[in-house]
Structure 1
Amino acid sequence: MLTRLSIRNIVLIEALDLTFGRGLGVLTGETGAGKSILLDALGLVLGNRADSGLVRGGEDKASVSASFEFAALPLALAERLDDADIEIEDGEPLIVRRQLRADGKSKAFVNDQPVSVGLLREIAGFLVELHGQHDDRGLVNPRGHRALLDRFAGVDGAKLDTAWTGWRRAEDALAEARLAVETAKADQDLLLAHLAELTTLEPQAGEETRLAETRADMQKGEKLSGDLEELRHLWEGSDSPLASLRVAARRLDRIAPEHPLLAEALAALDRAVIEAGEAEDKLEAAAEALVHDPAALEAAETRLFELRALARKHRCEVDELPELMRDMRSRLESIEGSEAQLDALEAAAKDAGARYRKEAEALHDARLAAAARLDKAVAGELAPLKLDAARFRTAVTQLPEDRWGAQGMDAVEFLIATNPGADFAPLAKIASGGELSRFILALKVALAEQGGAATVIFDEIDRGVGGAVASAIGERLARLSADGQLLAVTHSPQVAARGRTHYMIAKSSQGTVTKTGVVLLDEAGRQEEIARMLSGAEVTPEARAQADRLLEGA
């Protein structure tokens, strides 16, 4: 609830510090005393547009600070503040502050942390619910009517929310699978053509390297063929160098025992024969490795070029072609098995949709039953508030499927008809501000709403009424405020007498300077103010006596 409001240099208010408590607080004063200034100041910290005209004349800036306290911080409010990196400990007040400069620029703070004005607007609904002559929020806004009816019905939307989430996920999975199948089928002919082309070549891992090496060897063989042929002639035949070495070794072997040096010469010659033999083997192996076969070279070159061309076509490396083949086969297999997968996903989506419809239809029935009870409850409140010719209806309308959601398949709106025979219309269409405020009061009493804004403010709800109607309004305001905080700006002594606390707004002048002030009245002050409201400018003993009777009756 609102516990403190501090105002500096707002229009006629130079400096004002107000404290508020639980229950019904009433604000009274003569017309033009400045009651609207208080609401404008409060609106500033709730994110209303910054108007440089609010800055007191002669001052360069103004400020408003409002402090709110909660038994338990609403979860949604705590989450929004957490998103803004604002931490509030249990029992700690929430202090909202706004500074406004004479040039119209402003700054906003929550617990001394700079924030955007947009954040103030977001959290305002948790802090203050204002109903006045031009109310376009709170109960008037149809966007909140469904939640209010559900709260009145006592329904828990958790199951429906879970069912909706499950249905959306199932439908999303089905749509994704259908798109994948359609895309795959569109590519199926191309996949088959590419796979046939790859299968014809049947590329192997590492094949490019092997073909390139073979091709290079054969090209070298072609280049060295003449030299290899000459070497072959030198090593072949009985007159070749190796044959001559072997003959010499055999002859030396017969005489080697005759002298040690001959034996050493034989050993050296044997080594030469062995080395020459190895050289002959290497030459033979090289000739075989470098053999020049024009047909084989052409075949190697052709396959190498085909593999590389195919790799360029698919924008990959040659060694990646086998994996590409496997991927294409897998994609084709998935297309073939896609029908069965789609059937399973369609069945899952159908089941999820059926679960959602079951929960949504149950909630729809509960809303219809609650709407009838609410209509009856509101109707019972209209006559005492001088709205006996009016009618109230809670319209529960089933939406087309494309507008269903986690809150069900219904649109809910509170409608009224102010005159017999008139058509029902939305609350916001009512021309009379006084009627609108009284309708809202009747609706709030019927809803017995819990968990709304921390503070509810009614601005001149009693405009244009008096006597029994004003008493009825005061009694209902007091009832609504029993477990919370409600502030009422009023001209009615019957409403003012119901207040637990009473603030008088007065305007004073000193020379050319005019100021607005607010005083928390004691019992004597309350009697005098209510007497003034009863009698006018001159307070009579009769007015004071009547004021006493009103206070005693409250």
Structure 2
Amino acid sequence: MLCHLEIRDLLIIDHLVLEFQPGLNVLTGETGAGKSILLDALGFVLGWRGRAELVRAGADQGEVIAEFALSDGHPALAVLDDAGLPVDDTLILRRINKADGRKTAWVNDRRVSGEVLRNLSECLLELHGQHDDRGLLDARGHRALLDAFGGFAPYLDATRDAWRGLSQAQKALDAALAALATAREEEDFLRHAMGELDALDPQPGEDAELDARRRMMQGAERIREDISRAFGAMGGDGAEGRLSDALRWLEGATDGAEGQLDSAIDALGRALAELGEAQQGVETCLQALDFNPAELEHLEERLFAIRGLARKHGVQPDDLGTLAIEMRGKLDALDAGEGDIAALELAVKEARAAYQRTADDLSGRRAEAAARLDQAMATELAPLKMERAVFTTEITSVAPGPDGQDAVSFTVATNPGAPAGPLNKIASGGELSRFLLALKVCLRGEDGSKTLIFDEIDRGVGGATADAVGRRLKALAEGGQVLVVTHSPQVAAQGAHHWQVAKTVVDGMTLSRVVPLTADDRTDEIARMLSGDTITPEARAAAQSLLAG
């Protein structure tokens, strides 16, 4: 509910504070007094796109503050939470417009963008009038309005869940078909490449091992002679023989040396043991260097084959094994692809059937709700002196989607036999106002979370019809809040709270003033609306009669 509206330095308003109340709030005044400026100011603080120049002449900036009271579970609370703003049962919007055109907004003292304001406005307020293209006249929203009228939220959720299931199943099938098509395009290449890899069977680290052996074989002839000569120098005719002779001679002389040769004899023993290990290592090397030249040729052929295959596939030799695993996986997927596709096609078929069941159920419910809405509209239009008009909720089939397979539009025929068409194309100004009011009464339901604003929706009607308009506005305001800008005394008389908008001239400057009216003031204002500038006793009596109901 809109509780407080404060405006500073906008257009012809210098400073204005309004405290709105629950129920039906009416604003009246002469044409041009500034009633529309209040709506401009309210639209400005809610982030709506409106007049470019709002700042009052001579002022540095204009400012609007709007305070709303939020009930538990109000949709605006979720918007605040999503935007990371303080969540409270009081919502204060503040927006300023600098003289140079710059605009700045705050929500509960936090700086916000115009987008956040507009998201909040969708939850806070509805504006209806003869040029309303945001709400009931927008055919794009008619399906949602019918669904709200029918209370179809659970069935919409089920349809959307079924649509998501169908979409996911179709995506999985499409991906599998694309992968299978790609695999088929390279099947011949994969099978040939796998044949080469399987025949060669390269092992991790084999390239480095073969390269080392190859280098050793290539250098074998060059180093074999030196190694053989070294092996001979360490043998019985060389170092080993001489060391053995020296050890034998020393051991023969040890008895006469009084122990002085013991350490030398031990060292020679150790030297002979080390020499034996050296001989064994050199002999092993000579045996390794003893190879068949055909073995080198075979080794080089395998090494070159591994490296050539690696270059062919653009990988390192040690990665050929991983490449083989990947290719084998693709071939396995190709071989198993037909079975997978069949399973995925079955899943799509089942998901489509599930979606169709929920969409058909929703379509049936919409058709039943459309008939109820048309009947409710006929009941509402009769007291508004439009009993000959025909309101029809048209449902047509469209491509399936998350919200079902139906398009909904509200059409009217103002007289029997006349062609039906969209509300804003067929109805005249006064007729359109009454259609919108009747439609809003039918669609209002139990939702009183939004403040409803009707801008001169009673234009073009009077007498009993205007009285019927006022009574329906009053009924709409029960349990909620409705603001009405009106020129109709019958509508004004139905208000629970009444404000008068008037122009005054202060120091040569025209300003707009809005004042709450007392009971006596209301009588005079409604009498003025009935008779004009001169209030007659008859007009005052008629005003009192209207206020008495």
Q: State the TM-score, normalized to the length of structure 2.
A: 0.92
Alignment of 1:525-536 (within 5 A): 525-536=521-532
| Deviations, residues 493-542 of structure 1 (Å, cap 9, x unaligned) | 11111000011111111352111101111111111111111111100111
Counterpart selection for 2:102 from 89, 102, 105? 105
Q: Which residue of 2 aligns with 1:173?
A: 172
Q: Which residue of 1 aligns with 2:464?
A: 468
Higher mean alpha-carbon deviation, 296-305 vs 13-22, is at 296-305
Q: Is the Cα–Cα contact under 8 Å of residues 448 and 480 in structure 2 kept in the other structure?
A: no
Structure 2 CA distance for partners of 1:537 and 1:108, relative to 1, 3 Å: same
Q: Which residue of 1 aligns with 2:188?
A: 189
Counterpart selection for 2:509 from 510, 513, 532? 513
Alignment of 1:373-392 (within 5 A): 373-392=372-391
Aligned-residue offset at 1:135: 0.8
Instruction: Tell me, in whole angstroms, the C-alpha distance in 2 between the residues paired with 1:498 and 1:452.
Output: 19
Counterpart selection for 2:429 from 430, 433, 436? 433
User: What is the SS of the residue equivalent to 2:95?
Assistant: strand
Q: Is the Cα–Cα contact under 8 Å of residues 222 and 291 in structure 1 kept in the other structure?
A: no
Aligned-residue offset at 1:242: 4.8
Q: Is the Cα–Cα contact under 8 Å of residues 26 and 501 in structure 1 kept in the other structure?
A: yes
User: What is the SS of the residue equivalent to 1:400?
Assistant: strand
The answer to whether the aligner puts 1:61 opposite 2:61 as a matched pair is yes
Aligned-residue offset at 1:340: 1.5
In the alignment, residue 21 of structure 2 is paired with which amino acid? Answer: G
Counterpart selection for 1:131 from 125, 128, 133? 128
Structure 2 CA distance for partners of 1:13 and 1:284, relative to 1, 3 Å: same
Structure 2 CA distance for partners of 1:390 and 1:266, relative to 1, 3 Å: closer
Aligned-residue offset at 1:30: 1.2
Aligned-residue offset at 1:88: 1.2
Q: Which residue of 1 aligns with 2:477?
A: 481
Structure 2 CA distance for partners of 1:260 and 1:97, relative to 1, 3 Å: same
Aligned-residue offset at 1:128: 1.2
Q: Is the Cα–Cα contact under 8 Å of residues 420 and 426 in structure 2 kept in the other structure?
A: no
Instruction: Tell me, in whole angstroms, the C-alpha distance in 2 between the residues paired with 1:44 and 1:252.
Output: 118
User: What is the SS of the residue equivalent to 2:404?
Assistant: coil
The answer to whether the aligner puts 1:399 opposite 2:398 as a matched pair is yes
In the alignment, residue 455 of structure 1 is paired with which amino acid? Answer: T
Structure 2 CA distance for partners of 1:452 and 1:363, relative to 1, 3 Å: farther
Instruction: Tell me, in whole angstroms, the C-alpha distance in 1 between the residues paired with 2:451 and 2:265.
Output: 122
| Deviations, residues 386-407 of structure 1 (Å, cap 9, x unaligned) | 3234221101112123xx22x2
User: What is the SS of the residue equivalent to 1:503?
Assistant: strand
Aligned-residue offset at 1:261: 8.3
Aligned length: 545
Instruction: Tell me, in whole angstroms, the C-alpha distance in 2 between the residues paired with 1:292 and 1:261.
Output: 54
Q: Which residue of 1 aligns with 2:494?
A: 498
In the alignment, residue 491 of structure 1 is paired with which amino acid? Answer: H
Aligned-residue offset at 1:269: 6.9
Instruction: Tell me, in whole angstroms, the C-alpha distance in 1 between the residues paired with 2:149 and 2:274.
Output: 109
Q: Which residue of 2 aligns with 1:447?
A: 443
User: What is the SS of the residue equivalent to 1:409?
Assistant: strand
Q: Is the Cα–Cα contact under 8 Å of residues 153 and 367 in structure 1 kept in the other structure?
A: yes
Q: Is the Cα–Cα contact under 8 Å of residues 125 and 453 in structure 1 kept in the other structure?
A: no
Instruction: Tell me, in whole angstroms, the C-alpha distance in 1 between the residues paired with 2:501 and 2:364.
Output: 49
Instruction: Tell me, in whole angstroms, the C-alpha distance in 1 between the residues paired with 2:380 and 2:268.
Output: 133
Alignment of 1:150-549 (within 5 A): 150-155=147-152, 156=154, 157-231=156-230, 242=240, 276-291=275-290, 293-401=292-400, 404-405=401-402, 407-430=403-426, 432-451=428-447, 454-549=450-545
Instruction: Tell me, in whole angstroms, the C-alpha distance in 2 between the residues paired with 1:259 and 1:275.
Output: 29
Structure 2 CA distance for partners of 1:223 and 1:551, relative to 1, 3 Å: same
Aligned-residue offset at 1:290: 2.6
| Deviations, residues 15-42 of structure 1 (Å, cap 9, x unaligned) | 0000111111111111121111111111
Instruction: Tell me, in whole angstroms, the C-alpha distance in 2 between the residues paired with 1:240 and 1:537.
Output: 144
Structure 2 CA distance for partners of 1:159 and 1:246, relative to 1, 3 Å: same
| Deviations, residues 220-266 of structure 1 (Å, cap 9, x unaligned) | 32321332344466678x8666567768878998x669856899698
Q: Which residue of 2 aligns with 1:96?
A: 93
Q: Is the Cα–Cα contact under 8 Å of residues 74 and 449 in structure 2 kept in the other structure?
A: no
In the alignment, residue 18 of structure 1 is paired with which amino acid? Answer: L
Instruction: Tell me, in whole angstroms, the C-alpha distance in 1 between the residues paired with 2:256 and 2:466.
Output: 151
Instruction: Tell me, in whole angstroms, the C-alpha distance in 2 between the residues paired with 1:16 and 1:266.
Output: 122
Instruction: Tell me, in whole angstroms, the C-alpha distance in 2 between the residues paired with 1:127 and 1:2.
Output: 8
User: What is the SS of the residue equivalent to 1:140?
Assistant: coil
In the alignment, residue 505 of structure 1 is paired with which amino acid? Answer: V
Structure 2 CA distance for partners of 1:375 and 1:235, relative to 1, 3 Å: same
Aligned-residue offset at 1:159: 2.0
| Deviations, residues 428-476 of structure 1 (Å, cap 9, x unaligned) | 3246333222111011122243337611111111111110110110111
Q: Is the Cα–Cα contact under 8 Å of residues 415 and 427 in structure 1 kept in the other structure?
A: yes
Instruction: Tell me, in whole angstroms, the C-alpha distance in 1 between the residues paired with 2:148 and 2:255.
Output: 128
Instruction: Tell me, in whole angstroms, the C-alpha distance in 1 between the residues paired with 2:79 and 2:510.
Output: 41
Q: Is the Cα–Cα contact under 8 Å of residues 50 and 106 in structure 1 kept in the other structure?
A: no
User: What is the SS of the residue equivalent to 2:180?
Assistant: helix
Higher mean alpha-carbon deviation, 53-62 vs 490-499, is at 53-62
Q: Is the Cα–Cα contact under 8 Å of residues 129 and 453 in structure 1 kept in the other structure?
A: no
User: What is the SS of the residue equivalent to 1:109?
Assistant: strand
In the alignment, residue 36 of structure 2 is paired with which amino acid? Answer: S
Q: Is the Cα–Cα contact under 8 Å of residues 40 and 51 in structure 2 kept in the other structure?
A: no
| Deviations, residues 91-131 of structure 1 (Å, cap 9, x unaligned) | 3x111122112222211221121111122222212111111
User: What is the SS of the residue equivalent to 1:399?
Assistant: strand
Structure 2 CA distance for partners of 1:509 and 1:233, relative to 1, 3 Å: closer
The answer to whether the aligner puts 1:18 opposite 2:15 as a matched pair is no
Structure 2 CA distance for partners of 1:279 and 1:374, relative to 1, 3 Å: closer
Q: Is the Cα–Cα contact under 8 Å of residues 133 and 437 in structure 1 kept in the other structure?
A: yes
Q: Is the Cα–Cα contact under 8 Å of residues 433 and 459 in structure 2 kept in the other structure?
A: no
